[in-house]
Structure 1
Amino acid sequence: MSNQMITTENYNTQMTLFPETEEKKLSKRQLAPTFKPYDNRQIQVIFDIKALIPEHHVARVVDEMVEAVPDEQLFSHYKGGGRSSFHPKMMLKIILFGYSQKVYSCRGIENLIKENIPAMWLAAMQQPDFRTINEFRGERMKALMDELFEAMILKLIEEKYITMENYFLDGTKIEANANKYSFVWKNSTEKFEAKLKEKIQETLQHIHKLTQLEAGAEEKETEQNAEITEQNLEAVAKEIEEKVETLTEEIEKETDPKIRKEKRQERSKWKKPLKLIRENFLPRLATYKEQNEIFGDRNSYSKTDKDATFMRMKEDHMKNGQLKPGYNVQMGTENQFILFYTIHQRPTDTRCFIPHLEKLAATSLPMLKTVIADAGYGSEENYVYAIGDEKEPRFDFLIPYGSYVQEQTRKYKKDIKNAKNWTYCEQDDCFICPNGRKVTFKKYQNKKNPSGYEQSFKIYECEDCTDCPLKEKCTKAKGNRSFRRFSLRGIDKVHVEFGIVALAHNILKVAGIRQLLSEKNRKNTKGKWRKPNFFFPLALFFRTYRTAPPSLYCLHTMSIVKILHNH
């Protein structure tokens, strides 16, 4: 009986095992979640912050490039003595790193070195405030920018990133940190100055009548329309002041009321032109003189940044331009590295070609072999400069002239008014027009361009255009046809700021190349580096331009221009 009961209990126990198993499976889902230990209030010790930075991070490239600059080259710009300064290499590193991360304000860089691990490492945990950073960028770097840039380029040449053999030149207009409505135009200044001098002449003639004297010298100046200067007006004003003082003394001494009244009336006649000279003429002459000195060979400038010139800038895809204060930045590139740059106040690229290459020749950088530029640089003056002398040729160049692309069109080749489509007789030095008449050489004519370069032209004239049925198509003559925005103001500070942008761009480029070369999947590249996916959009590769048509010569540099505008 007991055995039977045991068996029954065992059986019952076995029968209840399956439901118990289900309960146990369900209970596992109700367990409390587990986490890794976390306590941000516990003291953490980082023995090497550098270990937290990836191997090919841009911060490492910044550190390497700046450390390559000799200490003596940087220390020479410090007088010595006084309170200890932050190390110039540390300041350079945090500024270059900030610009590489598109942080251009000094307050933003100050926040970087407090919150960003690579920036903390570059600063060695030091924390200069934004005023110190701004003073170093705006003042210290003005003296060492050119030397620093040359040292960086020489480092890139040494590591064979660039060769300086082929120099792609192009320019871009970048907006200045200035009010676009605070403009001063040279034409307006000249107009107002001319009107002022006319008014001054009238006043001087009135003064001469008041004196009732035969002042031969003054009359002679008036007749000859002598140039009116501040010194001449100042001399006239002093003479009038002496006259007024004399009358004042006479009035004080005079006892007769009638005579006193007459003398006061006479004094008031002299006071009116004196006030006009002191409060109107002299200040305005000084203002116009200052404006003309600021203009130089420019036609405009901004009141809030007197070095900036108003230029037409194309900002949208429709190329609708606006006149804004800015600078024309000229730069040469190779393999999308910026090799050299200059800042200009001239809107056109043509007149920037020679000054840019002259400054390049004055540096310690190796002289380039070939210059490639677009038609904006094509001019006789630039061609003559590039060719140089027979004894000392400068460099090879590939620069199409301004109308090259237009001349390749079918419309241009069929247009009869273009003399290049006419037949030329070398023996008689004449052209044959579409109507079969001779257009013979008439004379030489010399002209000077705005830069002072003198060009010689040959003038041809048709023997007779009378009753010519093609005259309206041939000529209209009645008779016979004979470059975002800078943060700093002033060209010196703008030069520094663009230098920082250019260095940051080159450093990013090095970092991208190194990261690409470190990737394991390089089977299809065959040892040649290609564009990393995270980096800027690139134009065609360098070797493409050796056989490219003229319309593609400067795509390489134009891509750099777009990159810098995106910055």
Structure 2
Amino acid sequence: MTKYIKYHKNYTEFGEPYQLVLPLNLEGLVPDDDSVRLLSHELEDLDYSLLYQAYSAKGRNPAVDPKTMFKILTYAYSQNIYSSRKIETACKRDINFMWLLAGQKAPDHSTIARFRTGFLADTCEDLFYQMVRRLEQMGELSKETVFIDGTKLEACANKYTFVWKKSVGKWEEKMFLKIQEAVTLLNREYLQSFRVSEETRTQDIQKICCFIEQVCEEQHTVFVHGKGRRKSRNQRYLELFRRFLERQTVYDWHTASFQRRNNYCKTDPDATFMHMKDDHMRNAQLKPGYNVQIGVDSEYIVAADIFQDRNDVWTLVPFLETMEKKVGFRYPSVTADSGYESEEAYTYLREQKQKPYIKPQTYEKWKKRSFKQDISKRENMGYDKITDTYICHAGKELKPLFIKKQKSKSGYESEVTVYECEDCTGCPYKERCTRAKGNKRLYISKSFLEKRQESYENILSEKGTLYRMNRSIQVEGAFGVLKNDYEFQRFLLRGKTKVKLEILLLCMGYNLNKLHAKIQNERTGSHLFPVKETA
């Protein structure tokens, strides 16, 4: 007769014989040239004082030392492991994670998540830039130029929870007209002089609600509800203005959440709806995401930041300011693609005495035959510096008419000179030259053109060619590794602070893997890839 064993939680009591073959010391199981040894060595000497200050002096000590927890998280991100539950499993089964724990108990997923989102959120940036300064001290950074680029990554948010600024403004304006009508009737019936202005509409509605509540209390108004019951005048007005106040509070919340944006996401208010490069449906669908900006030097990511802008133009200046402050030195030159070109960027770089290697937005168009044959373009017109006039295809002069000032989204003010043709009446080339009913006009910023020409000459030089080639290899290659090799396509956390924490952990893991690869391939100290000579 077969004897059945009752199942229980402790499987070791089933009694099968087991011969221990693994060494009790894990030191011999980790190869001498494994990247985990380099990671532990590089992170060991960092200053963790800010991280330890995040813990309370009262209460019990953490189950796992914070320094060890940081090593585990960094190594997990360098090995494409991002989920707290998968990190927990790795700590129990992976030898490298056990080696990092050094005999400490493996943390569970809630401990890992609590450490990542709570204790590490405000200190990870300091640890990342300590690592960058360590690379500088070892001579791994050229400190010659920084390659800057950005990409959009999807946020951990529902793609159907968008709020649009124009829509909110439209409905708020419609409600404001109804409020004005209701206030007029209320003043007439209660003999009051209430006013609701656009600037203080919420406070004004609150005053009206307080007044009606006081009237209801003095007149002992009985509130009725249900079908077939007639509401009193006081109840009708009180309920009406309470609805106005409730809706206005929601509109105020939306307005505060926009933060100079045209939209935001309800499930992650810091995320902005933007077009992603991965458009599988090919319908230009908008998804909630963040604009990730990184700066690369000698194949290492030396700076990383998160922006809510859909355009890269407005990110360059704040990114450079933050990078200089965190890294501790200023790069003599900046290399970026045409998406960062603006007069504000050129002006800032000139003030900081940084040489721009920024490709003009029309760089590729200038090479096309269709552009060279377009008589409406300023580039294809003659220019007289003495008289400051342009000569069109028909031989007529476009003279300066007036100068107007423009203010950008960031507050930068530029001067634009408006040129107008002397007379376009009866011109045989007018249809090809302009769509205006009157004379043709040109809107030109002389300062911008002068600075663009300087950057254009820089990128055409021998050094500029070297920098442009390395920019496409180093910074775009870094994004290719992060998004494809590391399979990091979507953030796991919500909120700008936590999203920045994730990208910093990812960049730190990338840098340590890059340092490991350079050491193993004997490429330490190399900074730029040489330009291949054509036969």
- State TM-score, norm by structure 1: 0.78
Question: Is the aligned partner of 1:187 residue 2:166?
Answer: yes
What's the CA shift string for 1:62-88, capped at 9, x where partnerless? 111211213545433333231111211
The structural deviation recorded for 1:320 is 6.0
The structural deviation recorded for 1:450 is 1.3
**Alignment correspondent of 1:52:** 29
**Alignment correspondent of 2:490:** 485
What's the CA shift string for 1:432-484, capped at 9, x where partnerless? 11111111111101111111111101100011100111000000111112292
Question: Is the aligned partner of 1:268 residue 2:246?
Answer: no
Question: Contact 2:518/2:524 (CA < 8 Å) preserved in 1?
Answer: no
**Alignment correspondent of 1:145:** 124
1:312 and 1:490 map into 2 onto residues whose CA distance is: 19
**Alignment correspondent of 1:64:** 41
Question: Contact 1:311/1:323 (CA < 8 Å) preserved in 2?
Answer: yes
**Alignment correspondent of 2:266:** 303
1:465 and 1:544 map into 2 onto residues whose CA distance is: 53
Question: Contact 2:406/2:414 (CA < 8 Å) preserved in 1?
Answer: yes
SS of 2:167 mapped into structure 1: helix
2:198 and 2:508 map into 1 onto residues whose CA distance is: 54
Measured at CA, do residues 43 and 300 of structure 1 come closer, stay the same or move farther in structure 2, by a change above 3 Å? same
Question: Is the aligned partner of 1:543 residue 2:529?
Answer: yes
**Alignment correspondent of 1:498:** 503
Counterparts of 1:217-296 in structure 2, within 5 Å, are 217-218=193-194, 221=195, 227=199, 229-248=201-220, 268-278=232-242, 280-296=243-259
2:531 and 2:330 map into 1 onto residues whose CA distance is: 20
Question: Is the aligned partner of 1:366 residue 2:366?
Answer: no
Measured at CA, do residues 190 and 547 of structure 1 come closer, stay the same or move farther in structure 2, by a change above 3 Å? farther
Q: 2:416 aligns with which of 450, 457, 467?
A: 457
**Alignment correspondent of 1:78:** 55
1:472 and 1:41 map into 2 onto residues whose CA distance is: 90
Measured at CA, do residues 339 and 515 of structure 1 come closer, stay the same or move farther in structure 2, by a change above 3 Å? same
SS of 1:492 mapped into structure 2: helix
**Alignment correspondent of 2:455:** none
Question: Is the aligned partner of 1:100 residue 2:78?
Answer: yes
**Alignment correspondent of 2:370:** 411
The structural deviation recorded for 1:276 is 1.1
**Greater shift after overlay, 400-409 or 472-481?**
400-409
2:157 and 2:70 map into 1 onto residues whose CA distance is: 26
SS of 1:172 mapped into structure 2: strand
The structural deviation recorded for 1:176 is 0.5
Greater radius of gyration (CA): 1
Question: Contact 2:381/2:391 (CA < 8 Å) preserved in 1?
Answer: yes
1:460 and 1:234 map into 2 onto residues whose CA distance is: 53
Q: 2:514 aligns with which of 509, 512, 516?
A: 509
Name the amino acid aligned to 1:404. Y
Identical residues among aligned pairs (%):
36
Question: Is the aligned partner of 1:423 residue 2:400?
Answer: no
1:272 and 1:312 map into 2 onto residues whose CA distance is: 46
The structural deviation recorded for 1:194 is 0.6
**Alignment correspondent of 2:95:** 117
SS of 1:363 mapped into structure 2: helix
What's the CA shift string for 1:194-214, capped at 9, x where partnerless? 111111111111212222x3x
**Alignment correspondent of 2:13:** none
Name the amino acid aligned to 1:232. D
Measured at CA, do residues 55 and 508 of structure 1 come closer, stay the same or move farther in structure 2, by a change above 3 Å? same
Name the amino acid aligned to 1:349. D
Root-mean-square deviation (CA), in Å?
A: 2.6
SS of 1:298 mapped into structure 2: coil
Measured at CA, do residues 470 and 427 of structure 1 come closer, stay the same or move farther in structure 2, by a change above 3 Å? same
**Alignment correspondent of 2:136:** 157
What's the CA shift string for 1:213-238, capped at 9, x where partnerless? 3x4x44xx47xx66452221121122
SS of 2:302 mapped into structure 1: strand
SS of 2:415 mapped into structure 1: strand
What's the CA shift string for 1:106-139, capped at 9, x where partnerless? 0000000111001110112321111111111111
Structure 1, unmatched stretches of 5+, are 1-38, 252-263, 518-526, 531-540, 549-567
**Alignment correspondent of 2:470:** none
Question: Contact 1:56/1:514 (CA < 8 Å) preserved in 2?
Answer: no
Name the amino acid aligned to 1:54. P
Measured at CA, do residues 91 and 429 of structure 1 come closer, stay the same or move farther in structure 2, by a change above 3 Å? same
What's the CA shift string for 1:160-209, capped at 9, x where partnerless? 22223220000011110000101111111111111111111111112122
Q: 1:133 aligns with which of 103, 112, 119?
A: 112
Question: Contact 2:78/2:510 (CA < 8 Å) preserved in 1?
Answer: yes
- State TM-score, norm by structure 2: 0.82
Name the amino acid aligned to 1:58. S
Aligned length: 466
Question: Contact 2:153/2:292 (CA < 8 Å) preserved in 1?
Answer: yes
Question: Contact 1:516/1:529 (CA < 8 Å) preserved in 2?
Answer: no
1:321 and 1:129 map into 2 onto residues whose CA distance is: 41
Question: Contact 1:59/1:118 (CA < 8 Å) preserved in 2?
Answer: yes
Measured at CA, do residues 165 and 343 of structure 1 come closer, stay the same or move farther in structure 2, by a change above 3 Å? same
Question: Contact 2:43/2:71 (CA < 8 Å) preserved in 1?
Answer: yes
The structural deviation recorded for 1:58 is 1.7
Question: Contact 1:314/1:322 (CA < 8 Å) preserved in 2?
Answer: no
